[in-house]
Homo-oligomer: A and B are copies of this chain.
Amino acid sequence: MLAVPSFHDIQKAHLRIKRMIHDTPVMTSSGINHITGSVLFFKCENFQKAGSFKFRGAANALLSLDEESASKGVATHSSGNHAAALALAAKLRGVKCFAVMPHNAPKVKINAVKGYGAEITFCEPTLRSRESTLQNMIAKNEAVFIHPYNNFNVICGQGTAAIEFLREVPDIEIMMAPVGGGGLFSGTLIAAKAVHPEMKVYGAEPKNADDAYQSFRKKRLIPSVKPNTIADGLLTSLSELTFRIITDKADDIFTVSEDAIIEAMRLIWERMKIVVEPSAAVPLGVVLENKAFFRGRKTGLILSGGNINVEALPFQGV
């Protein structure tokens, strides 16, 4: 069983990756505060290197490897931000990165992974094909598998966003992060609860991919069955490690409709003038659907990333 990171592990990760990552800005929007009636702070991981918080975990995983392991390179399967983040982190450490991607992954994401110099092997868009392709690849080249969230060092890296967030805005009452595989949420829970034990920390999940919500409620790991949400970063299910951390530490998990996710994303684009992907808008979607709950409370939302295909946006004509 994988060990659960402590806050000290996350602090060490922060020291380790500090010079490699961006200390991303915290933004506010008086327009969105006016609409929601709450006092919101946005940690802008869309400005992180490779376009998402995933770079924190990838950087920490890479820098935690000893020379010999690192020399073989790293490998992962991902259709999204983790592969790009790992590819960039590997490039910066000067080692190889092998990525298994489904052949129908968005071209923009394939191009990003390629652009950072990773070697891509395509597979069928099924979990079985992904895993077997990865196994074959690792057997061949002995690269170190870096799981996108069921990984101690990755979770430590993701938790560093909350450390920066609370340094910049120390009096946040509530913190909320989107939940896909649960790496960001796990790291956020450990860090935020350690800094301010009385803080409420919530997960935000699409109703149409609510495995974390179900698992949290029923206290057993229930993977998603055919999740179908515009928040393409949140299609994955919790892992053994993230399930344990979330069950132990989370105050609750909110679920949110697809309409609210799109409305939230549109508000962020139009009012804050920044590009975020749908997954990043999920916590604001929760605030929009639960205005009474968040009214007047200082709430910190993690904008997880900004990688989106600008040719296919979900905004409908008015």
Residues of A within 8 A of B (CB): 25, 46-47, 51, 107-108, 266, 269-270, 273-276, 306, 310-313, 315-318
Taking A46-B273, A269-B275, A312-B317 as known contacts, 10 extra A-B pairs with beta carbons closer than 8 A to each other, sorted by chain A number, are A47-B273, A107-B318, A270-B310, A273-B274, A273-B275, A273-B306, A274-B274, A274-B275, A275-B275, A310-B313
A47 and B47 alpha carbons, distance in the complex (Å)? 15
Number of copies of this chain in the oligomer? 2
A84 and B47 alpha carbons, distance in the complex (Å)? 28
What is the minimal beta-carbon distance from A308 to any residue of chain B, in angstroms?
9
A76 and B71 alpha carbons, distance in the complex (Å)? 66
A306 and B276 alpha carbons, distance in the complex (Å)? 15
What is the minimal beta-carbon distance from A312 to any residue of chain B, in angstroms?
8
Closest Cβ neighbor of A268 among chain B residues: B275
Q: Given A274-B273, A275-B273, A275-B274, are A317 and B310 also a contact pair (CB < 8 Å)?
A: no
Inter-chain contacts of A317 with B (CB < 8 A): 311-312
What is the minimal beta-carbon distance from A44 to any residue of chain B, in angstroms?
8
Inter-chain contacts of A313 with B (CB < 8 A): 310, 313
Contact call B306/A311, Cβ cutoff below 8 A? no
